[in-house]
Amino acid sequence: MGDSNIESQNTSGIDVRLDNFEGPLDLLLYLIRKDDLDIYDIPIAQITQEYLSYLDIMKELNLESVGSFLVMASTLMQIKAQMLLPSPESEENEGPDPRAELINKLLEYQRYKEAALILAGYGEKEKDIFYRAAGPEFENDDFSLTASVFDLLKSFQRVLDQAPREIGKILREEIPLEVKIREILDRLEENVSIGFAELFTPGMSRREMIVIFLALLELIRLRQISARQSEMFGEIRIFREAVVLAETSIPGEEPSPNPPTEANS
């Protein structure tokens, strides 16, 4: 799925993104812990120096993605400079601590790290608990006709007709097809079927509607879903296909490590 993320690919073809593992805030928290520093009173000069030495190693290793680390380095140096400058206000009124923003960020981030740790513990407790994964499949007598592509087009035309025409400027939004595909599959995860019209909500832009429609066609082609109706020209409902073809992968998605393998065919 990572193909949307062009900036992570460097020219050498090697894609080591350090910040997929740990980021600059992690490094700062690490240094604070290592040197047993007071997070509320960080000795900026000391920590900047240590931070920069780590940055040197990263550069040495030629890690392409030190961008976020560089940004933090310049923030640190800026704070350091501000601390050195005599405050324009006199001694009794020192003005805001230049470190305050950074400290708040670190504290906030630390809390999420803590929460993540607790969550990991919860996850550990659950790791041996399993649920039934797929329910029984039913023959659906009501929606036994497969809708043709013309039925779909006609229904979509109706949806578009009801949608307001956008006038003037339009935000060119990026709506990747995969996202819509995923959304449709997700909704079918929770419901056996969705009404065709329910896929489109009033606030949607025409562009978004078109992408949803294309996603629908793609999923039908991949036989992940089917469009059915109970009578000719009747209401169309989208159903999850009972038979999941393990080898069909969704475009832009790597084969998942846990393919849904259903035995019924």
- Residue of 13, 135, 161, 247 interacting with other proteins (CB under 8 A): 135
Q: Name the segment binding other proteins (CB under 8 A); options: 42-50, 56-64, 113-121, 151-159.
A: 113-121
Instruction: Tell me, residue by residue from 234 to 253, as one string, x for binding to other proteins by CB under 8 A and - for no binding.
Output: -------------------x
Return all residues near 158 (Cβ < 8 A) that are at least 6 apart: none
Half-sphere exposure of 195 (CA within 13 A, CB side): 7
Burial code (b: 16+ CB inside 10 Å, e: under 16) for 19-32 equals eeeeebbebbbebb
Query: Can you state the angle between helices 149-162 and 206-221, rounded to 10 degrees?
Result: 170
How many angstroms separate the CA atoms of 103 and 79, rounded? 11
Q: Which is nearer to other proteins, 45 or 107 (CB)?
A: 107
Q: What does DSSP say about strands 236-240 and 225-229: parallel, antiparallel, or unpaired?
A: antiparallel
Q: Which is nearer to other proteins, 120 or 232 (CB)?
A: 120
User: Does the protein bind other proteins through residue 83 (CB under 8 A)?
Assistant: no
Q: Which is nearer to other proteins, 94 or 247 (CB)?
A: 247
User: Does the protein bind other proteins through residue 170 (CB under 8 A)?
Assistant: yes
Contact 63/15 with Cβ under 8 angstroms? no
Interface ranges with other proteins (CB under 8 A) = 1-2, 4-5, 8, 17, 19-25, 68, 72, 105, 108-109, 111-120, 122-123, 125-136, 166, 168-174, 179, 182-183, 186-187, 189-190, 201, 203-204, 253-254, 256-259, 261
